Amino acid sequence: MTLSRALAIVVLTASFAAPAYAQDRVVPTSPQQLKLSFAPIVQRTQPAVVNVYAGKAAPRNPLLDDPIFRRFFGGAPGQLQPEQMQRSLGSGVMVDPSGLVVTNNHVIDGADQVKVSLADKREFEAEIVLKDSRTDLAVLRIKDTKEKFATLDFANSDDLLVGDVVLAIGNPFGVGQTVTHGIISALARTQVGITDYQFFIQTDAAINPGNSGGALVDLTGKLAGINTAIFSRSGGSQGIGFAIPANMVRVVVASAKSGGKAVQRPYLGARLQAVTPEIAESLGLKRPSGALVANVSPGSPSARAGLKLSDLIVGIDGQAVDDPNAFDYRFATRPLGGSSQIEVQRSGKTVKLSIPLEVAPDTGRDELVIKSRSPFQGAKVANISPALADELRIDSNIEGIVVVELEDNAPAQGVGFQKGDIILSVNNQKIAKTSDLDRIAKEPSRLWRITVVRGGQQLSVTFGG
């Protein structure tokens, strides 16, 4: 990925007189004036940025077990075939001196082996402590070491401004640790489509494949964000890279430090929608801005706080809310316990509400994998809990069960089921809990009539048995 920069200066003068700005230019009078450099920041931060190598055993070709096949294609009789590994390469940042590393989830997802390489070329085995697909972040821990490692402190990413100079440190294309520089091109990018929480820092610092999970550092030497994606038509850097803000990274790391296997976040218990120009006009707004409340779950924190259908959320804890993505990010980065103050517009008046910051209830999932021969075979399903509904962005008030995982190449995947599908009924029988589907899937049938909800839309499909 190549980031090209060109500075073109066109001097137009109407006379032979020297331009006024030329009088501000001076010749350097000492070598020190020529040594303006980012080197002190790089020297301080580079030791905390690591390379992450992830390996996953590739599916074994069953023909390799055939002695005749091995004989004709290079394998000696009785010789064991070496295990094939699929490898991925990324970067990471040391965030705790005990050996805690944060990286992107997509760098290590599905990995059987993970190694971390330091800037001084030493390599360590690492274990996965926590994975969070919703933010595309993961936390690793270096194994079997009592060494104290160099770390980066978190910046307050809410203090960043467009135009601030930043450095990107990582391992692009596997060439080795590399530093690039640029500026923050934009903040609060919400239409990127990478993770559930759409609130990215955009930078023109060169970010390439292999930079994923690396550090975006401000000029105080603190971690401003974790580099996670690029926009590119060629696969190389075109000056549009995205980083997860440090305030979100801090939440994920805190959950890992506390020993949790999942990230603990505040639960709102309300579904929000964007304000379109048509909605803005109907509400008498000057511009389409804010997050409109489309649904409030009974008994949820938002319901107890007094949030109502059609309320327009315009602020949280003194920060403006431009759209639902902005609210989701702000709310998700609030610490648990206490409360958060939100500002809503209701019937032309401003109302302030106090939302308690607490986790969503997560009981009674009763997850199971359907094993019976049916269109559901290989699907892992669960009862809908508030926590699961929040995780999958589905309505917790729907009575049904939800698909949470699909086995590779299983019949359920083949017929088109997707993670997040809500199964309402099968062959005109209501599905209220996972045991209902397990029972019905065991019944012999030539025809399967299934009603599901996907993306808020109810669908009816029929499969031959």
Question: Where in the sequence numbering do the catalytic residues fall?
Answer: 106, 136, 212
Is 242 in contact with 184 (CB distance < 8 Å)?
no
Which amino acid belongs to residue 215?
Answer: A
Tokens of 71: 């004989």
How far is residue 200's CA from residue 328's CA, in Å, rounded to a whole number? 13
- CA dihedral over 74, 80, 82, 83, signed as positive or negative: positive
How far is residue 204's CA from residue 230's CA, in Å, rounded to a whole number? 10
Cα–Cα distances (Å) from 446 to 37, 233, 372, 431, in that order, read: 73, 47, 14, 19
Cα–Cα distances (Å) from 387 to 330, 438, 455, in that order, read: 18, 23, 18
Tokens of 140: 């690793």
Is 241 in contact with 181 (CB distance < 8 Å)?
no
How far is residue 172's CA from residue 235's CA, in Å, rounded to a whole number? 12
Packed helices 246-257 and 324-332: angle between N→C axes, nearest 10 degrees = 40
Q: Could you give the angle at the alpha carbon of 286 between the alpha carbons of 283 and 290, nearest 5°?
A: 65
DSSP 30: S
Q: What phi-psi label fits residue 64: left (phi over 0), alpha (psi between -120 and 50 degrees) or beta?
A: alpha
Label residue 216 exposed, middle or buried (CB < 10 Å: 0-12, 13-18, 19+). Answer: buried
How far is residue 274's CA from residue 175's CA, in Å, rounded to a whole number? 43
Cα–Cα distances (Å) from 351 to 190, 303, 394, in that order, read: 26, 15, 27
Question: What is the distance in angstroms between the CA of the first residue and the CA of the last residue of the chain?
Answer: 50
Which of 397, 402, 359, 363 is CA-nearest to residue 381?
402
How far is residue 362's CA from residue 227's CA, in Å, rounded to a whole number? 32
Is 207 in contact with 182 (CB distance < 8 Å)?
no
